[in-house]
Amino acid sequence: MGVLADGRAFESSEERSQRHSGSLLTRRRFQFAGALVLGAFVPWFMRGPFLPGTMTEHASVYTLVGNIVAIIIAFWMRLSIETYPGIQRSYVIFPAALTGHGLVLTWFALTRFPYDRLGLAGGFLLHVVWLYLLYIYAERRIRRRYAVVPFGRIDGLFKIDQIDWLPLSRPRLHDARNCTAIVADFAAELPNEWSAFLADAALAGRVVYQVKQLTESLSGRVEIDHLSENSFGSLVPVRGYFYFKSLIDLAFALLLLPLVLPVMMIIAGAIRIDSSGPILFRQKRLGHAGKPITVYKFRTMRPVVIEDERRAAMTTEDDDRITRVGRLLRKLRLDELPQIINILKFEMSWIGPRPEAMPLSHWYVDDIPFYRYRHVVKPGITGWAQVNQGHVAEVDQVIEKLHYDFYYIKYFSPWLDVLIVFRTIKTMLSGFGAR
């Protein structure tokens, strides 16, 4: 970046070329077109000169269509999941591509349509390699920059470090020329010239975000300190998906049960050898609609009598009650496996806010506004708060956890659940937040 004699900045031709090149490589249409060419048409064109068969035979044509459909499904998943915060695109590329091509392969297997296995495998490989190369070369180097209108509740934006924030000092579109978007608090009393500025920005095709929605999107939290009637009402989850999700939970529990039972038997034996006491830990917790449920876990602590119920329900870091086997189970989250029983009883879901012990729930209800509202959905084995924050117990930490729970309730959808599954796998491998 250079400077003219009058003090204005200018871009060199090399900088301008790099900026436009990076912009092209990060455009979804370019990525999608490249994936279609490499993942669908290249394997098709290779039939004959490099691969056995011809381009016009049924297996070749069906494979071409199958790869196109797989790429469309994968990109649809990516666009749906990447809108949520806290996710790097690199985490989504492989699972989305695997899902798209896996569904197509399943369809071929069920319908017995002729297809080329090598063509499908090549399409999947080229699809994934193309997207990862784009990510490595362009996307991970780009940092977004947003212009901020300096009125209203904007202070929270500057605490989010994944964006470069540019506070505007005057209502001039030229000042925001190098910014991806403009952010404003529409609930604030804006001077007329700033209202006109936002109108001009919209007419010019600039992206303008409301600060509240953008903060939620970037932080993955819904602040509860300033909930109004309107924002409180917007937290009602989609009921259709609520019931459909219960059926999905049951189906997955039944499918996984034959695989999980041998693992649970091995864990039960390890617990029995490691320390005395029951294998399962049973605890009363609050479930959906605030109804008490008995939650099952593998016992990870030595039985110790503690008179203070609240203290007994809390687990601190390096708690001396935790057994050797229990520490490993907690790190890998395997102590939660017996909760498949709660799922089969329709008391819990695979994904949702974690159910709290009764003494802690009563404590939080007394000290935290709207806490009981988190029971509007079923509790889960893993959840949005767990993959973002980990295990907490103190009131100030629970308030932050509630922000995440409310975000999950407000944006309750299958795509958010899929994202939580991806991040739970990462959490299990890293041991994040375990106690």
Domains of the chain: which residue ranges? 9-141, 145-219, 239-430
Structure tokens at 259: 């695989």
pLDDT confidence bin for 212, thresholds 50/70/90: confident
253 touches 344 (CB < 8 A)? yes
Q: State pLDDT tens for residues 402-411.
A: 888 888 888 8
Each residue's pLDDT tens digit, 136-177: 777 666 678 899 999 998 888 888 887 889 999 999 999 998
Nearest to 355 by CA among 282, 252, 429, 257: 282
First to last CA, the chain: 49
Task: State whether the Cα torsion 372-373-378-379 is positive or negative.
Answer: negative
Q: What's the CA gap between 362 and 372, in Å, rounded? A: 9
Whole-prediction pTM: 0.70
**Tens of pLDDT, residues 2-48:** 333 333 333 333 334 344 444 677 788 899 999 999 999 999 988 87
- Is the alpha carbon torsion for 323, 329, 332, 333 positive or negative? negative
Other CB atoms within 10 Å distance of the CB of residue 378: 24
Whether residue 332 contacts residue 428, with contact meaning beta carbons closer than 8 Å, is answered with yes
Reference 182, options 156, 211, 159, 219; nearest CA is: 211
pLDDT for residue 284: 92
More confident residue, 225 or 120: 120
Statement: residue 299 has pLDDT above 80? yes
Q: Which residue has the tokens 């490595």?
A: 136
Is the alpha carbon torsion for 416, 417, 422, 428 positive or negative? positive
